[in-house]
Copies of this chain bind each other. A is one copy, B any other.
Amino acid sequence: MNAVKRKFILDCDSGTDDAQALMMVLAQPDIELLAVMTVFGNANCDKTSRNCLRILKFKNRLDIPVYKGSDKGLIGDIPFTSNYHGYDGLGDIHIEGVDPIDIDLIQKEHAPVALVRLVNENPNQITLVATGPLTNIALALHLDPQFGTKLHDIYVMGGNTEGQGNVTPSAEFNFYTDPEAAYFVLNSIGKMINLCSMEVCERHGFSWEWYEKFTDGKTRSSCLVRDFEHSLITREKQKGIAKSYIMVWDQLTMASAIKKDLLIQSVNVYATVELHGMHTRGQLIVDWKKKQNKHQPNVRLLQQFNQAMFDSLIHMVTKD
């Protein structure tokens, strides 16, 4: 096959769900993953970098470079990172045959600089998928103001649209963790952003029964996912399983970028991010009723996906 492959870059804060998004894109025969960029979020940037390298080594794909990015938000006011995905950001497990990972494998070039270089080397060809805070993208946009318009397209997991946050009463984790970056990227990238809000992600979760099969251990990857998700899943179940389903946010975002047919419904809107509220810092603001009509739509809100098709796609994570 000589067909030209599509070119992807993943910018993530891996994270067990980012790890699955990475495994998903690695499994696509028609996609070339040019690089993985890392950012703080689910863990600090040393850890998220290491986690990406671990997944790549596990998949025998250390040919793909990992660039380390920012360890702080644009104004650096959120000193902590979450331990939701474990202290190391990937379930605190030992991966046989992988660990310990050699962190010298991290590229010397800083992620935003590499982003700018790669996008200029591959103008209008790169699909950028961002599943963590948007810090690296914001910095790339500062280094090259035309960065956004040189992308083929961009998919972002972040923000909430229905009045309930997951980290504060009003804000979603990725946007809350670096509100200034989210604000700057949304307002200045000059390219329509395909946005998977937390609500659309929640609506496309899977049942626990589904998850049992997904992690039945019949493949190496299935074992890996089962292991690195183990403590998080156990903790969720101990909480009484408030939710009857498992969330696969970053996986959905990657899937939506991989397969355009997945999308059933979307709407183009102007959206921005609240920076100044006492309670609402980091909240996505959608101008639903076009009250701020000086602004053109900058975001394609992805609203509904074909769940069966997503089911097929997510199974590529654990196919071997």
Which residues of A come within 8 Å of B, CB atoms? Answer: 70-72, 74-77, 110, 112-113, 135, 139, 142-145, 160-164, 166-170, 180, 183-184, 187-188, 272, 274-280, 283, 285-289, 291-292
In this complex, the member of A75, A77, A167 whose beta carbon has the largest number of chain B beta carbons within 10 angstroms is: A75
The one of B139, B169, B289 in contact with A291, judged by C-beta atoms closer than 8 angstroms, is B169
| B residues near A135, Cβ cutoff 8 Å | 142
Q: Which residue of B lies closest to A272 (CB)?
A: B279
| B residues near A143, Cβ cutoff 8 Å | 110, 112-113, 139
A200–B59 alpha-carbon span in the complex (Å) = 50
A167–B286 alpha-carbon span in the complex (Å) = 13
- Contact yes or no, B75 A287, CB < 8 A: no
A167–B280 alpha-carbon span in the complex (Å) = 17
Stoichiometry (number of copies): 4
| B residues near A113, Cβ cutoff 8 Å | 113, 143
A sample of 27 inter-chain contacts (CB < 8 A) reads A74-B75, A74-B142, A74-B184, A75-B183, A77-B187, A110-B143, A112-B143, A135-B142, A139-B139, A160-B163, A161-B163, A162-B162, A163-B163, A163-B286, A164-B288, A166-B289, A167-B291, A168-B291, A169-B288, A169-B289, A170-B280, A170-B285, A272-B279, A274-B280, A276-B277, A279-B283, A280-B285
In this complex, the member of A168, A183, A285, A292 whose beta carbon has the largest number of chain B beta carbons within 10 angstroms is: A285
A164–B287 alpha-carbon span in the complex (Å) = 8
The one of B70, B76, B279 in contact with A285, judged by C-beta atoms closer than 8 angstroms, is B279
The one of B72, B275, B287 in contact with A188, judged by C-beta atoms closer than 8 angstroms, is B72
| B residues near A276, Cβ cutoff 8 Å | 275-278
In this complex, the member of A163, A166, A167, A187 whose beta carbon has the largest number of chain B beta carbons within 10 angstroms is: A163
| B residues near A76, Cβ cutoff 8 Å | 184, 187-188
